[in-house]
Amino acid sequence: MSNTLQRGDQSEIDEGDDRRESLLRLVAGASLGGSLLTFLVAPWLTVFFVIAFLAVVGYGWFAYQERTAKGLMFLATVSTALVLVLIIAFLFIRSLPAFGHMGLEILYTDGDFWSRANDWYSLYPAIWGTGLTTILATIVAAPLGIASAIFISEIAPPWAHEIVKPAVETLAGIPSIVYGFIGFTIINGYMMDNFGLTSIGSIVVVGVVVGLMALPTVASVAEDAIASVPDHMKDGAAAIGATKWQTIKSVTIPASFSGVSAAVLLGVGRAVGETMAATVILGNVMELPEPLYNVFGNTVTLTSLIASQYGNSHGLHREALFAAGVILFITVMALSVTAQVIEARVKRNLGGDL
């Protein structure tokens, strides 16, 4: 009888906790929803809903810490996904007038970016400039990054590994404006003095600088891919008499080729989306280089076009810049997804973690 009463009392306590928890969820959800609604309608009221939400979360943290923590993490995840969806929607919606006015001709129409005579825009010079700088940056970043990864993972002694790996990764922490300023004052000056450049800024300088900026990404991801190659594969090569270099060349590199390719793609994505270095170095000439393959010429990239003109744009001009943003987004997203697919393939084939 006593046990039955105790179980009944415990059941009532659990039911009471469930009701309080449900009430807390309801109040927290209402507070969060009210803060978002008032932010759009009456921003000055948002603070009251935010305070209510924080109060509910504070009480829940002390009373139901585990469930509150799970709820906050879920909310953070949903918020991140929602922000991404809103950014994508905003970007595409704002670009619709430009695509509606010019159609796909905005992508390949030759000429200056802005034709005032008929309010016509062309992203062709910026797309071409982005392509050239990306190719040059890949030529710089891919071999140097892969060579650095091989040295760090397979050749360097422990003391050198502890020095070189952090040094390479530190390059990623240098602000892009610093890279751009160094490229503009040093590399560009050298090119003008020794190669007879007639204008300030050139595509090749941007390619070299952006390639150096992408180098840490390529080196870090490629090093992880090379390190994920199972030891038994290397030991098997050593067992049949292969030297260290023969093992690297014939076993390690082929086995990690997919991961190394993903590293290069991520580096290319960094090069495509780079803004400040290209804006600082290039003269933002809104026309194609002559001839088209002239890497010593001057032009504009999609990122530098947006950065240099958004402050003075309005109407269809601004929508054309949003169209440039759409092209950038699709390009970088495609590169990122491809890199993720390749990395997943490496994990399946080698069983390693990148």
How many CA atoms does the CB half-sphere of 102 hold within 13 Å?
A: 24
Higher-confidence residue: 40 or 121? 121
Which pLDDT does position 20 carry in this prediction?
61
d(C-alpha 354, C-alpha 347), whole Å: 7
Q: Which two tokens stand for residue 132?
A: 């050239």
Contact between 249 and 255 under an 8 Å Cβ cutoff? The reply is no
Kindly give, in sequence order, each residue whose CB lies less than 8 Å from that of residue 138, ignoring residues fewer than 6 positions away: 211, 214, 264, 267, 268, 271
CATH match for 114-349 among 3.40.50.10860, 1.10.3720.10, 1.20.1630.10, 1.10.150.120? 1.10.3720.10
Which pLDDT does position 6 carry in this prediction?
46
Distance separating the N- and C-terminal Cα atoms of the chain: 60
**Torsion over CA: 157, 163, 166, 168 (sign):** negative
d(C-alpha 233, C-alpha 230), whole Å: 6
Check pLDDT > 60 for residue 342.
yes
Residue matched to tokens 């030991």: 235
Q: Average pLDDT, whole number, for the chain? A: 76
Q: Which helix (H) or strand (E) holds 301?
A: none
The domains of the chain are located at: 2-99, 114-349
Q: How far is CA 303 from CA 24, 173, 293, in A?
A: 46, 20, 20
Higher-confidence residue: 346 or 144? 144
- Of 222-226, 287-291, 350-354, the range with the highest mean pLDDT is 222-226
In the predicted model, what is the mean pLDDT of residues 64-87? 77
**Torsion over CA: 164, 168, 174, 177 (sign):** positive
Which pLDDT does position 351 carry in this prediction?
54
Per-residue confidence band for 354, with pLDDT thresholds at 50, 70 and 90: very low
In the predicted model, what is the mean pLDDT of residues 263-276? 79
Check pLDDT > 60 for residue 194.
yes
Kindly give, in sequence order, each residue whose CB lies less than 8 Å from that of residue 140, ignoring residues fewer than 6 positions away: 207, 208, 211, 212, 214, 215
pLDDT in tens, 130-158: 888 888 888 988 899 888 888 888 888 88
Three-class SS state of 115? strand
Higher-confidence residue: 42 or 230? 230
Which pLDDT does position 2 carry in this prediction?
47
In the predicted model, what is the mean pLDDT of residues 264-282? 78
Q: What does 237-283 look like in DSSP terms, one character per residue?
A: HHHTT--HHHHIIIIIHHHTHHHHHHHHHHHHHHHHT--HHHHHHS-
pLDDT in tens, 18-74: 566 665 566 566 666 666 666 566 666 666 666 766 777 777 777 767 777 777 777
Percent of the residues in the chain that have a pLDDT greater than 70, as a whole number: 76
Name the phi and psi angles at 121, rounded to 5.
-125, 150
CA dihedral 122, 84, 265, 98 (to 10 degrees): -10
Which pLDDT does position 39 carry in this prediction?
58
In the predicted model, what is the mean pLDDT of residues 88-114? 79
Q: Which helix (H) or strand (E) holds 121?
A: strand 120-121
pLDDT in tens, 278-312: 777 777 777 777 777 777 777 888 888 888 777 77
Check pLDDT > 60 for residue 276.
yes
